[in-house]
Structure 1
Amino acid sequence: MCGIVGIIGREQVAPLLVDALKQLEYRGYDSAGVATLQDGVLDRRRAEGKLVNLDKLLKENPLGGTIGLGHTRWATHGAPTVRNAHPHTTPRLAVIHNGIIENFAELRAMLEKDGYVFETETDTETVAHLVTRALDRGLDPVEAVRETLPQLRGAFAIAIMFKGEDDLLIAARNGPPLAVGYGDGEMYLGSDAIALAPFTDSLSYLEDGDWAVLTRSGVVIYDETGATVERPVQKSAGTAFLVSKGNHRHFMEKEIHEQPEVISHTLANYLDFSKGTIRTDAAPIDFAKIDRIAASACGTAYYAGLIGKYWFERIARLPVDIDVASEFRYREMPLSKDSLALFVSQSGETADTLASLRYCKQQGLTIGTIVNVRESTMARESNTVFPTLAGPEVGVASTKAFTCQLAVLASLAVAAGKMRGTINEDEERQLVRELSEIPRYANQALRLEPQIEAISRDLSQVKHVLYLGRGTSFPLALEGALKLKEISYIHAEGYAAGELKHGPIALIDESMPVIVIAPYDHWFEKTVSNMQEVAARGGKIILITDEKGAAASTLKTMHTIVLPDTPEIIAPIIYALPIQMLAYYTAVFMGTDVDQPRNLAKSVTVE
């Protein structure tokens, strides 16, 4: 959601805060703001829209001071306006916040009754006035925050700076991540390591319920009971996260093209290419003792999990129940301690997925997490972490993280099959060999980019698109529709091809493109019959298939994208690339903001 950063430094901090916010803009870009303290006096600058607007404002009207807070917002309460932008201030303090204060309405009513005047529509302003009220009663800043935190319900990461206190920041975490960075006579706060990478690689991560008092000499951390605690200081790989677009127009384009390399890195973590086997240390969980997998994820990661379900059940004969994380806990699924709870997340901070993880942990299940950020909350709270090695993914629409998640799921399914005796050594070697070929096939798929760019020009002229697929291509149809929706804003729906005649066929007419994902597999003939139903009603078919499929299909299509003939297990990973490129180039032709689509944020840290 929102990104927050704080610095107690020795030089002018406003430019440093903006630099840090640039690393966090993936978390929200509805508005941004900076507040500093100079000679004990609070001042701030805020701007609606992208961070570039704040940067321009600060160049025109600079802020001085060696202590400050910065924020980039993804709006929850209140429109994305300057008035609602953070930091929020009172005459005594400035506050920034990531998350949702669920009881803000009752707190606001109480504060207004006491005479405190609100200027914004946000839930965050209640925190500012609550702490101010405690200060007005004579408490010092530390005691004022100590009194305030138990009154807040919800998910929040908060940082507060106080008038007249040029060597003090106070922060608190309950849900969304918050890291403390250590420098030489300087201290830092950030939503994640990427924000602090320009300044330090020494970090501590606050645990849920922690709050911290920062000065230039260090930090004192308290837990939710008020007892002082030590949180380990660790070296972060955050400096590796300082990335640029290079020669690409957008981060999404760059990340699409990085997939052969990062998938190769991820596979090498799970496969022994020289022996043609699963690495013995790849899956520390004994799948032979697991009776079921209870899986959960959100968005694109959920679609990765759906594809993984096919692999686990087919290869390892291991049943998989998978839910979107926002529904997982509320379904009250019967859980067994012999089951593995498996979660998929790029950031490792997704609020709904993290809540589902903790629910399963309370039930006594073994927790496994497929995650791209090893230092994330989900990684730290899991029994076993299955890392993806996608590297930082800046574009909001997931590309390389998705295919790396698939690479991990496929590898784990083969490992589970080996442990459970559902595949023999020859079958293991065959599957490992096929997985090792993914980077080569992915490179071949990327060579179709000019054709896909031309097709996307036609797609950019329509208002609705239907995606169809069977088997593992069904979740890909869902993913393709999601990609198109989120970055081009064209309405799109994904369906199992067999469901076409159960309702969606009513949408088919001459203006409706239907993108059919159909490798030449044992579902191909049935999918072709669905294509005939579309053709009979004048629908415009865009067929994504392989050489055998293109030869076998006699139907006239609007366009046919021909991928190389690929082994069945890796087809979903290879076919992900053309649907990503279709969405990307369609959005480019539409003129939308590809990397930062409206209303979205990269890491959703509130439910």
Structure 2
Amino acid sequence: MCGIVGAVAQRNVVPILIEGLRKLEYRGYDSAGIAIMNGQMSRVRAVGRVAELEHRAKEARADAPTGIAHTRWATHGGVTENNAHPHISNGEGIEVSVVHNGIIENHEVLRARLKAQGYAFQSDTDTEVIAHLVHSLVASGKTLMQAVQQAVRELHGAYAIAAISKTEPNTVVGSRRGSPLLLGVGNAGSGQGENFLASDTSALLQVTRYVAYLEEGDVVEIRLDGYSIVDAEGNPAERPIVESQLSADAIELGNYDHFMQKEIFEQPGALANTLEMVANASSLSSGLFGADAEAIFARTRQILILACGTSWHAGSVAKYWLESIAGIPTSVEIASEYRYRESVALPGTLVLTISQSGETADTIAALQYAQGLGLRDTLTICNVPESALIRQSKLRFLTRAGPEIGVASTKAFTTQLASLFVLTLVLAKQRNRLAPAREKELIEQLRHLPAALNRVLECEPAVRHWARRFAVKQHALFLGRGVHFPIAQEGALKLKEITYIHAEAYAAGELKHGPLALVDREMPVVVVAPNDALIEKLKSNLQEVRARGGELFVFADRDTHIEPADGLNVINLIDHAGPLSPILHVVPLQLLAYHAALARGTDVDKPRNLAKSVTVE
């Protein structure tokens, strides 16, 4: 959520700031603004989209070599121009402007103190206290870098900030703790002439591919002639400059109407990239997860999975695999709940975190809580190589899905599932539960997975037809059994996220324990129906729905022999894919949500009230 861009250059940075914000729109926001220095400080803010901010900036003829910009997702205070960032503090001939991602937990205490010092507040935000706090320190004679260093020591909570001051017109200072911020080094990595800050690499591809990822507590100063970084203790620090491999084309729509549509159809390629090292190997190695993996896996007796949202559903699928194939007891915890209860830390526990961004605040905090309990063996499955979760874990596996712009996760989910299946096989092999012939067979199935997914995507026309009928509904029920129950949960989540249709998922065996009371002809019931060991029991559940007048929409394997009938709609996918079936069955559910959202006219890529990266609690 929220986005930051900062720039110092020998040219007008306003187009750079605006374009950077446009690339960060996917993160979710409700207002946007810029503050710039060109002899004097000026600010432009707008409620709504970046396009409105751009229009206002052009009207104001905004032009400056130094500036900061922000997209805000409202937390403290409503969606108003006064609450939009940047926030400015002025007085005594000094002006300071600040943008901020995150939440300052002690803002009320700081606000009371600053009010007592004579500062007047113009907004309801927690961010404005940072602007006044930094201003008070600059007014006392400190440089902007020194002021930010001292100010962040007083902040409790999560933050990424960027600040400019009239006293230093060609300087931007940033800092991060618990929320991402990176340095962009201009002019092919020399840093001479222009430098940048941003909360996401995608915002800077227009000006540089050379970036440095800041560590927790870092404070960075960017200038025309270079940059300086100090760590949380105030000591000079160096962070490696890396050339981003992110392609500008990867964050463009191309021939698609929406990013979600593009990302659904990118899944075969994303899976092929994720599984490249596996598909080209004759056998599996623990080294796929890091140099220490063999030793850590050898002492693993149980697994604790920590994740949120879609990633939690991926972990829930993995629990079935890890217990049935690898024989390892596995628990799956919602990260935002885990850290607030007293749990038992068992020796031999591998803590597995799953996240698309690697910056999910609740998952980071849950990992740190588990480490505080003495659970030091950690593994992260993630899509971003330099993210906080990756850096804080001993082992890692990158999903290589490429950037995912749509808020509703699609290719991140399927690549997470593929990665978790590889982990399952590696652990099963190390525990002597995977015979060589079976290993070879499953590697071949993984190699075939992208092709199988391409065949599943051929169901789109039939799903589009169903979606038109869904568009007029207000409620939907999703059913699955066994390892496909979390897939039903993911399908319900997708539908509610982007169509705003209320959807719930149940294990089909629970129908008679309550949900059946909801079933009538106005309640569509979506069923995930693979030809697995539970198919006959699932067919009985379908009859229970039909007997109550409910209309069924069944995604079935071709060999399940479920025939269409009155009140029973069936789309046959492919023959049963064995343990990899969940990866294939979730895709038509994604398509159903996407096309139902189109039919309802909702904003597919930017659903209301939601952000892509949840970087605060």
Query: Where on the TM-score scale, by shorter chain, does this alignment land: which range?
Result: over 0.9
C-alpha deviation, 1:566, in angstroms:
2.4
Q: What is aligned with 1:281? A: 287
Q: What is aligned with 1:62? A: 61
1:546 aligns with 2:573: no
C-alpha deviation, 1:239, in angstroms:
4.3
Q: What is aligned with 1:19? A: 19
Q: What is aligned with 2:228? A: 220
SS at match of 1:229: coil
Identify which of 476, 497, 503 aligns with 2:514. 503
C-alpha deviation, 1:76, in angstroms:
1.1
C-alpha deviation, 1:256, in angstroms:
0.5
CA distance in 1 between counterparts of 2:71 and 2:286 reads: 43
Identify which of 226, 233, 241 aligns with 1:233. 241
SS at match of 2:184: strand
Q: Give the direction of change, closer, same or farther, for the CA distance of 1:531–1:304 in structure 2 (3 Å limit).
A: same
The superposition leaves residues 481-505 of structure 1 with CA deviations (integer Å, 9 ceiling, x where unpaired) of 1000110111101111112211211
Q: How does 1:454-603 map to 2 (within 5 A)?
A: 454-549=465-560, 551-552=561-562, 556-603=566-613
CA distance in 2 between counterparts of 1:118 and 1:187 reads: 31
Q: Which moved more, 1:536-545 or 1:108-117?
A: 108-117
Identify which of 461, 468, 485 aligns with 1:450. 461
C-alpha deviation, 1:555, in angstroms:
6.2
CA distance in 2 between counterparts of 1:241 and 1:87 reads: 30
The superposition leaves residues 266-314 of structure 1 with CA deviations (integer Å, 9 ceiling, x where unpaired) of 11233335x3x32563244233431011111111011011101111111
Q: What is aligned with 2:81? A: 82
SS at match of 1:448: helix
Residues 532 and 555 of structure 1 are in contact (CA less than 8 Å); yes or no, is this contact kept in structure 2? no
Q: Which moved more, 1:168-177 or 1:359-368?
A: 359-368
1:402 aligns with 2:422: no
Q: Give the direction of change, closer, same or farther, for the CA distance of 1:432–1:556 in structure 2 (3 Å limit).
A: farther
Q: Which moved more, 1:513-522 or 1:160-169?
A: 160-169
CA distance in 2 between counterparts of 1:7 and 1:524 reads: 58
Q: Give the direction of change, closer, same or farther, for the CA distance of 1:267–1:222 in structure 2 (3 Å limit).
A: same
CA distance in 1 between counterparts of 2:564 and 2:203 reads: 54
Gaps of 5+ in 1: none
Q: Give the direction of change, closer, same or farther, for the CA distance of 1:143–1:280 in structure 2 (3 Å limit).
A: closer
C-alpha deviation, 1:143, in angstroms:
3.2
Q: Give the RMSD, CA atoms, in angstroms.
A: 1.6
**Which letter maps to 1:198?**
Q
Q: Which moved more, 1:424-433 or 1:4-13?
A: 424-433
Identify which of 434, 441, 444 aligns with 2:445. 434
Q: What is aligned with 1:142? A: 145
**Which letter maps to 2:138?**
L
Residues 350 and 375 of structure 2 are in contact (CA less than 8 Å); yes or no, is this contact kept in structure 1? no
Aligned-residue sequence identity (percent) comes to 46
Q: Which moved more, 1:199-208 or 1:358-367?
A: 358-367
Residues 350 and 604 of structure 1 are in contact (CA less than 8 Å); yes or no, is this contact kept in structure 2? yes
C-alpha deviation, 1:556, in angstroms:
4.2
Residues 37 and 166 of structure 2 are in contact (CA less than 8 Å); yes or no, is this contact kept in structure 1? yes
TM-score norm. by structure 1 comes to 0.96
C-alpha deviation, 1:242, in angstroms:
5.0
The superposition leaves residues 385-442 of structure 1 with CA deviations (integer Å, 9 ceiling, x where unpaired) of 1010111111110001100111111111111111111121111112222222211211
**Which letter maps to 1:278?**
L
Residues 562 and 570 of structure 2 are in contact (CA less than 8 Å); yes or no, is this contact kept in structure 1? no
SS at match of 2:24: helix
CA distance in 1 between counterparts of 2:345 and 2:578 reads: 32
1:334 aligns with 2:340: no
Residues 263 and 411 of structure 2 are in contact (CA less than 8 Å); yes or no, is this contact kept in structure 1? yes
**Which letter maps to 1:267?**
L
Residues 337 and 366 of structure 1 are in contact (CA less than 8 Å); yes or no, is this contact kept in structure 2? no
Q: What is aligned with 1:309? A: 319
SS at match of 2:68: strand
1:243 aligns with 2:265: no
TM-score norm. by structure 2 comes to 0.95
SS at match of 2:345: coil
The superposition leaves residues 32-64 of structure 1 with CA deviations (integer Å, 9 ceiling, x where unpaired) of 11111011x111111111211112222232211
Gaps of 5+ in 2: 187-191
Q: Which moved more, 1:397-406 or 1:225-234?
A: 225-234
Residues 6 and 196 of structure 2 are in contact (CA less than 8 Å); yes or no, is this contact kept in structure 1? yes
1:109 aligns with 2:112: yes
Residues 374 and 387 of structure 1 are in contact (CA less than 8 Å); yes or no, is this contact kept in structure 2? yes
Aligned length: 603
1:384 aligns with 2:395: yes
Q: Give the direction of change, closer, same or farther, for the CA distance of 1:29–1:191 in structure 2 (3 Å limit).
A: same
